[in-house]
């Protein structure tokens, strides 16, 4: 069971995600954004960073990277696809998740631990968690404020103390099927008590357990 961790020029959390997945026994490989064949992989993570410099708009250029057609195909086949932070922004720009991410309410970058609550346990990010479970996890973004004109979105995690103005305090959002999820805080940064929290492991374990052979 292998996970593709996609690297766009400007991505910077790829090694952290691979490290956290491997620490849980997962098999994860870095995949360059020009790759056009993900048939050897059973799931995909788009990690955090600044894909293509976030120029024009976060994720706006990354959605055109060659790999994205394959990411869409994998998702359509029902395999788990997770976007973390910048990866969440890319999935929204690609139309694979509802809504968009705009600048934080206070117009400042936020890097700190926040608390989130599990509000849906039928997604690839939260299937191992308990409904109502509280998770302490770092946020690290400027454009982390999720907005969505409709009311049909599935929200998997909500902030306890909405730090960035997200609609409905949403911290993680999924597609209707629950196999494509975007999460704004970083599960891989809460993967070790030495770093202040291991609460993020339940989310990464959920992802790994959602992998089924392609």
Beta-strand relationship, 81-84 and 43-46: parallel
66 part of the interface to other proteins, by CB under 8 A: no
Positive/negative CA dihedral, 117, 123, 125, 128: positive
Give CA–CA dist 71/182, Å, rounded: 14
Min separation Cβ 19 and other proteins, Å: 6
Task: Specify the stretch interacting with other proteins by CB under 8 A; choose among 71-79, 95-103, 106-114, 120-128.
Answer: 106-114
Of residues 24-43, those binding other proteins (CB under 8 A): 32
Residue 53 touching other proteins (CB under 8 A) = yes
Note whether 191 binds other proteins by CB under 8 A: yes
- Find out whether 111 and 138 touch, Cβ atoms under 8 Å: yes
CA distance 109 to 107: 7
Binding mask 133-152 for other proteins (x = CB under 8 A): -----x-x-x----------
Both tokens assigned to 74: 């994998």
Which of 76-84, 90-98, 110-118, 164-172 is the region at the interface with other proteins (rule: CB under 8 A)? Answer: 110-118
Here's the x/- map for other proteins, 151-170, by CB under 8 A: it reads as --------------------
Using the minimum distance from each CB to other proteins, give the nearer residue, 47 or 178: 47
Query: What are the CA-CA distances from residue 95 to residues 63, 76, 209, 214 (Å)?
Result: 9, 13, 25, 23
Catalytic (active site) residue 186:
yes
Binding residue (CB under 8 A) for other proteins from 49, 83, 98, 187:
49
195 binds other proteins (CB under 8 A): yes
Q: Is 52 left (phi over 0), alpha (psi -120 to 50) or beta?
A: left
> Which position among 92, 143, 186, 205 bears the catalytic label?
186
| Separation CA 181–CA 157 (nearest Å) | 10
Beta partners for residue 140, in sequence order: 111
Interface ranges with other proteins (CB under 8 A): 9-10, 12-13, 15-16, 19-20, 32, 49-50, 52-55, 108-112, 138, 140, 142, 186, 188-189, 191-192, 194-195
């Amino acid at each position: 069971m292998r996970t593709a961790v996609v690297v766009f020029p400007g991505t910077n959390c790829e090694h952290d995600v691979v490290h956290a997945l491997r620490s849980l026994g997962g098999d994860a490989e870095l995949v360059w954004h020009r790759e056009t064949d993900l048939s050897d992989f059973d799931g995909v993570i788009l990690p955090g960073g600044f894909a293509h410099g976030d120029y024009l708009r976060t994720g706006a250029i990354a959605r055109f990277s060659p790999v994205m057609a394959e990411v869409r195909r994998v998702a359509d086949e029902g395999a788990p696809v997770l976007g973390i932070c910048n990866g969440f922004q890319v999935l929204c720009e690609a139309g694979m998740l509802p809504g968009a991410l705009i600048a934080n309410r206070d117009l400042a970058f936020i890097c700190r631990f926040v608390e989130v609550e599990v509000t849906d346990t039928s997604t690839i990010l939260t299937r191992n968690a308990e409904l109502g479970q509280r998770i302490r996890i770092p946020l690290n973004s400027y454009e982390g404020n999720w907005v969505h004109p409709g009311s049909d979105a599935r929200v998997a995690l909500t902030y306890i103390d909405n730090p960035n103005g997200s609609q409905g305090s949403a911290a993680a959002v999924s597609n209707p099927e629950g196999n494509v999820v975007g999460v704004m805080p970083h599960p891989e940064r809460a993967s070790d008590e030495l770093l202040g929290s291991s609460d993020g492991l339940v989310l990464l374990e959920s992802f790994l357990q959602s992998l089924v052979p392609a």
